Amino acid sequence: MSGLPAGVMPLDPEQTSSLQSAVSGLSPLQLQWVSGYVAGLAAVNGELPIVASVPAVSSDKRLTILFGSQTGNAEALAVALAKHAVSRGFAASALSLADYKPANLKREALVSFVVSTHGEGDPPDDAEIFYDYLMSDKAPKLSGLKYSVLALGDSSYVNYCETGREFDARLSELGAERFEPLVECDLDYEDAADAWSNRVVDELNSLLEAGSAPAVPLLRAVENVSAYDKSNPFPAEILVNQKITGGASSKDVRHIELSIEGSGLHYEPGDSLAVLVTNPPELVGEILEQMELDGQQTVVVREKSVALTDALRENLEITAVNLAFLRAWADIAADNELSTLVAASDPQSLGDFVDTHQIIDIIRKFPATVDAQAFVDMLRRLSPRSYSIASSLAANPDEVHLTVAEVRYTAYGSEHWGAASTHLVERLKEGDKVPVFVERNSRFRLPAADVSVVMIGPGTGIAPFRAFVEERKAQNAGGDNWLFFGDRNFDSDFLYQLEWQRHLKQGSLTRLDVAFSRDQRQKIYVQDRIRENGAELYRWIESGAAIYVCGDSKHMAGDVNAALIDVLVEHGGLDTATAEQHLKELRSAGRYQRDVY
């Protein structure tokens, strides 16, 4: 081991000595068992590419599963598929598209893609370079490839599952053969994804030779794995629910601390906490009144009989509009305006309408008579809401912190509520419990301790960077930390101001640049601060710093991306196209990571 080149062995001398002592004298079979055990530990706790098996077989005897994941759902499904295939005796591996060389696709025989769509039809960050290659003239003919695609999306966006659709169509165009049809999944994806996975594995009997996977047990570190997940959330007690915006602020932002003591829940900076919420009772009442429905009437939701009021409050999505509901309502409302909007081939107009309306607005604006069961059947299941975790477990043992902005506003002459934010801010008090589980986000991770980081997080996008700085401080990390923060007003909206000042004084935060848009006549945003400090920022980037962005995807993320391109053009001497490609390469390398929503 001592003969390895510098940087290859990620262990210090003491760890290397311990490892050598531990494996000394083991037989080849025992070494193989240890290899499988350690791989299991890495899959549970680590950030390495997850390989369910590493078969020494040709590519035509294995299933390659490639995933593009923005929030971790596609990754989890891909890894589950790989483990399922291996458990049935097949060779299979799961790999991020960011870690996959696109040119290798022509050498594959059997590939399943699990890919999400980000925002309005964009590929996830880790799939961007592969996507560009696949859609370009460089992509080779793939007549020897059999493939299947599982597309994840959110039907409240017009270009729902667009990336998966594009993958499926382009692969077919290049001559590849589908062995399973494209499956599109909404936020409530579990049943459809499980059915697709089962069909894929069943197909392997005819596509691959069973028994080609090596007989290495896939062991898990049981003591480190929590039993709590979406189907079995942990009831976390609220320890603190504190408003952190001033009285003059136009927003109510809360710092919420929850206890996870005894849960076994583990998280890392960059992960999210999913919260199971209930809908605002005021909104449930308005819907029942507007539709003249009896809340005590029994309806069936997923084969269970419940009162309509309970279904609307606890089981169904009644805030965000999605395309399936809009189309179903247009069919019964018989309103020309709505029918024309839904039928039109103008995604911009339809997208703007979905973004600015809630379901109650549709019901009011386009009244229709519908019975309770038919209405329930139009609605999606109520999905958990995810919040970037605002704490480091190393700094806050047995706790998880959130930064939550209440969504409450007036539109179309009536009050509107956000389901999750009002649930957390208004309806839960200290001592109450709320069901939660951790959502891992392996594409939003801190770099090595000696690497500098640039963090860009306006508004509640500051949350994960509070966790980042706490973690780096606990690690005594050597890399520098630069934070860009923005909001409306310095006096009332400077979230965690005293903490940032303390970090600056202690040296755990190297630099802080802020932008308060409403404190002067001309609005100033974080992207303006980025351009103002472009020369220094470029030096950080050239020195190997990693860039992180968290917050709004519709405007802020694009504005920040444009500002970074301007920095590379002005201070790096690149043309715009080269600067754009450079940012894509940084994303692929994990040096430009985004958690945007």
Q: What is the pLDDT of residues 472-500, one digit of tens each?
A: 999 999 999 999 999 999 999 999 999 99
Q: What pLDDT is attached to residue 348? A: 81
- Mean local confidence (pLDDT), 25-47: 47
Cβ neighbours around 368 below 10 Å, total: 16
| AA identity, residue 581 | Q
Strand 385-388 with 272-275, pairing:
antiparallel
Same domain, 130 and 185: yes
Strand 110-116 with 146-152, pairing:
parallel
- Mean local confidence (pLDDT), 126-131: 91
Q: What is the CATH number of the domain that holds 288?
A: 1.20.990.10
Q: Furthest-apart CA pair in the chain: how many Å?
A: 79
- Alpha-carbon distance of 201 to 65, in angstroms, equals 12
| Cα angle for residues 249, 507, 514 (degrees, 5° grid) | 30
Same domain, 48 and 174: yes
Examine the fold and report which residue of 190, 207, 224 is the final residue of a domain before the chain moves on: 207
Residue 100, in any domain of the structure: yes
Q: What is the CATH number of the domain that holds 407?
A: 2.40.30.10
Q: What pLDDT is attached to residue 34? A: 55
Residue 335, in any domain of the structure: yes
User: 260 pairs with which residues across the strands?
Assistant: none
Residue 410, in any domain of the structure: yes
Beta strand segments in 145-217, E? 146-152, 177-178, 183-185
Same domain, 265 and 300: no
Q: What is the pLDDT of residues 57-110, one digit of tens each?
A: 445 679 999 999 887 889 999 999 999 999 998 999 999 998 899 999 999 999
Same domain, 174 and 68: yes
Query: At residue 73, what are phi and psi to the nearest 5 degrees?
Result: -65, -45
pLDDT band (50, 70, 90) for residue 578: very high
Residue 529, in any domain of the structure: yes
Residue 505 scores a pLDDT above 60: yes
Contacts of 317 (CB under 8 A, 6+ apart): 359, 379, 380, 381, 382, 383, 419
Same domain, 337 and 424: no
Is residue 543 within 8 Å of 551, Cβ to Cβ?
no
Q: What pLDDT is attached to residue 386? A: 94
Residue 413, in any domain of the structure: yes
Is residue 284 within 8 Å of 296, Cβ to Cβ?
no
Q: What is the CATH number of the domain that holds 40?
A: 3.40.50.360
Place of tokens 């059915």: 195
Q: What is the CATH number of the domain that holds 499?
A: 3.40.50.80
Can you give the residue range of the structural domain that contains 300? 281-378
Residue 247's Cβ-count burial label (10 Å; 0-12, 13-18, 19+) is exposed
Place of tokens 């793939």: 142
Beta strand segments in 245-356, E? 253-259, 272-275, 298-301, 304-307
Query: At residue 580, what are phi and psi to the nearest 5 degrees?
Result: -60, -45
In 3D space, the residue among 370, 361, 364 whose CA is nearest the CA of residue 328 turns out to be 370
**Rg (Cα) of the chain, in Å, rounded?**
25
Residues in the chain: 597
In 3D space, the residue among 376, 424, 427, 165 whose CA is nearest the CA of residue 273 turns out to be 424
- Alpha-carbon distance of 578 to 428, in angstroms, equals 50
Residue 345 scores a pLDDT above 80: no
In 3D space, the residue among 318, 329, 403 whose CA is nearest the CA of residue 365 turns out to be 329
Same domain, 244 and 363: no
Residue 11, in any domain of the structure: no
Same domain, 161 and 50: yes
Residue 229, in any domain of the structure: no
Contacts of 387 (CB under 8 A, 6+ apart): 272, 273, 275, 402, 403, 404, 420, 463
Same domain, 245 and 132: no
- Alpha-carbon distance of 108 to 468, in angstroms, equals 39
In 3D space, the residue among 308, 307, 306, 316 whose CA is nearest the CA of residue 288 turns out to be 308
Residue 6's Cβ-count burial label (10 Å; 0-12, 13-18, 19+) is exposed
pLDDT band (50, 70, 90) for residue 156: confident
Alpha carbon dihedral 419, 420, 421, 427, in 10-degree steps, equals 80
Same domain, 408 and 510: no
Residue 169, in any domain of the structure: yes
Q: What is the pLDDT of residues 157-202, one digit of tens each?
A: 888 899 999 999 999 999 999 999 999 999 889 999 999 999 999 9
- Mean local confidence (pLDDT), 299-311: 96
**Does 13 or 318 have the greater pLDDT score?**
318
Same domain, 522 and 416: no
pLDDT band (50, 70, 90) for residue 26: low
- Mean local confidence (pLDDT), 582-587: 93
For a pLDDT cut of 70, what percent of the chain falls above it?
87
Same domain, 392 and 327: no
pLDDT band (50, 70, 90) for residue 22: low
Alpha carbon distances (Å) from 511 to 59, 446, 481: 49, 17, 7
Average pLDDT along the chain = 88
Same domain, 111 and 166: yes
Q: What pLDDT is attached to residue 361? A: 95
Domains in the chain, number: 4
Task: Lowest mean pLDDT of 223-227, 281-285, 362-366, 407-411, name the range.
Answer: 223-227
